[in-house]
Amino acid sequence: MARVLDVPYAAINFMDATRQWAKACHGMPPGSVPRGFAPCDWVVEGGEAMIIDDMAQDTRFAATMAASPPTGPGLHTYAGVPLKTEEGLSLGTLCVLDHQVRHFGARELEVMAALAEVVMDELALRSSTRELTLARDQASTLRDLAQLMQRPLTAEDTAHQAILILKDRLAFDWFGLLHVTPTGISIMQELTSSRGQEHLRLLHTHLLNGTPTTSETLEQHNLFIDHYPGSAHASADLIRAGVQQAAWLRLFHVSHDQTFVLALARFGDSGPWTPEERTLLEAAAHTVQVVLERTGHVQTLERAALTDALTGLGNRRALDMALDEAAQSGQPYTVAIIDLDGMKRINDTLGHASGDMLLREFARQLRCPASSAYRLGGDEYALLHLQGGAEEELLRLVAQAAVHVRDAGYPASASVGLASVPHDAPDATSALRTADQRMYAHKRERKANREVSAVGY
């Protein structure tokens, strides 16, 4: 979090009745303080995120947190989000602090909230592991499932490993991890016995065609069918094939609105699902669920770290990564550096809100399928076209973007410089330098032309 938000201090704090202590911290020594000394106490009490741009202006903390050493740590900016259990209990906070006055907003809170969910996932993982390993007669199997959550596996690999762990503890003929979308069902992972292999095409047809049995069953969270031939919407084909039991365990990732299902089928007379088998399958589903959620949170953080908060374009880090990938591919590419002229005048005459609107509108016009757009900071942008000989296309795109913002009422224009690899430069660093130099040359040329026009030549 300290790296993504560019702050010197970050901490995970827990609370008890009298104190607040750092479970993990960056940039500061671990320790504890009495409750009420720091803003985290207010976050826990209120159960809501809190941003304080300058604690020196807050009477609660001006004489403590914002006080200069040795009276206090001399901190000004604070932002914290609560660490909440599923029951809504606030255990502590995830917070950042800075000696400088900072102005955090929705984007920073979104990043912090995503990280707070990761923290709570880890706490839930610890709790689940403890509960699983204490389960009578199933301790070793459940411990193996819990340890899967610690490994750097994809959801598909986790599901596969989980069912391999369970295959000696329960009978099944077909297992699948399904991804359910509005347009249909895809099978992400599956494992079959020899008997299941005989009917694999029939199982696929039944699932992928989305029969009423499938669609209605998928609405259930956990469903164990002990006598499949007697179920209301059983498939006659699957009954003839010998399916006797089925299980559906629904996984739902709220953050990304995706539904997954662990599904099993048993042929022949294996008997109903026992309580022990249900517990093991629910534990396997929980393992895959945790991995899915963790993957989603990591993807959210990765997107935040590579995205410019104001415009939604990629940032400088994203451009560097794209250039590295282009270099590794060995294909030619063209890079453009763009400077949006007129920002200072707009900020001075129309206000900074109008300046931000201009930056966003210009960025929106730079988006096109053929190239990738980035905001490097301030009023500077970049375009990357993964082909050579794209100069005219990129120049036309920038010119159209400049015309659009002027038509929208912003007295702005754009200077641009381009360079291609390997035609103009041997590598990305040289190409960026060349494009930057050409952009400034273009800016000087345009300025000189305006001066000439002003004196009537």
Would you say residue 355 has pLDDT above 70? yes
Look up the CATH architecture of domain 135-302: 2-Layer Sandwich (3.30)
Q: Is the predicted pLDDT of residue 389 greater than 90, yes or no? A: no
> What pLDDT, on the 0 to 100 scale, is given for residue 381?
95
pLDDT value of position 211: 40
CA distance 249 to 222: 4
- Taking residues 377-386, report their average pLDDT: 92
170 in Cβ contact with 162 (< 8 Å): no
Q: How much is the pLDDT for 435?
A: 93
For the stretch 325-343, pLDDT in tens is 988 888 899 999 999 988 8
Does the pLDDT of residue 217 top 60, yes or no?
A: no
Q: What is the mean pLDDT of the chain?
A: 85
Domains 2-105 and 316-454 share a fold: no
- Predicted local confidence at residue 336, as pLDDT: 93
Lowest mean pLDDT among 25-34, 38-47, 140-149, 334-343: 140-149
pLDDT at 130: 67
Q: pTM of the prediction? A: 0.44
What pLDDT score does 138 carry? 59
pLDDT at res. 113:
93
Residue position matching structure tokens 């060349």: 434
pLDDT of residue 453: 54
C-alpha 297/C-alpha 392 separation (Å) is: 40
Residue 162 near residue 168, CB atoms below 8 Å: no
Q: Which of 168-177, 237-246, 407-416 has the lowest mean pLDDT?
A: 168-177
With cut-offs at 50, 70 and 90, classify the pLDDT of residue 388: low
- Check residue 186 and give its pLDDT: 83
pLDDT for 216 beyond 50: no
Determine the average pLDDT of the residues in 214-219. Answer: 48
Is pLDDT of 49 > 80? yes
Domain residues of the chain, as ranges? 2-105, 135-302, 316-454
131: confidence class by pLDDT, cuts 50, 70, 90? low
Q: What is the mean pLDDT of residues 355-372?
A: 91
Mean per-residue pLDDT, 308-312: 89
What is the pLDDT at residue 180? 80
Q: Is the pLDDT of residue 256 over 70?
A: no
Mean pLDDT over 168-187 rounds to: 82
**What CATH number was assigned to the domain covering residues 316-454?**
3.30.70.270
Residue 319 has pLDDT above 60, yes or no: yes
pLDDT at 295: 73
Q: What is the pLDDT of residue 99?
A: 93
Q: Which fold has domain 2-105?
A: Beta-Lactamase (3.30.450)
pLDDT bucket at 219, cuts 50 / 70 / 90: low
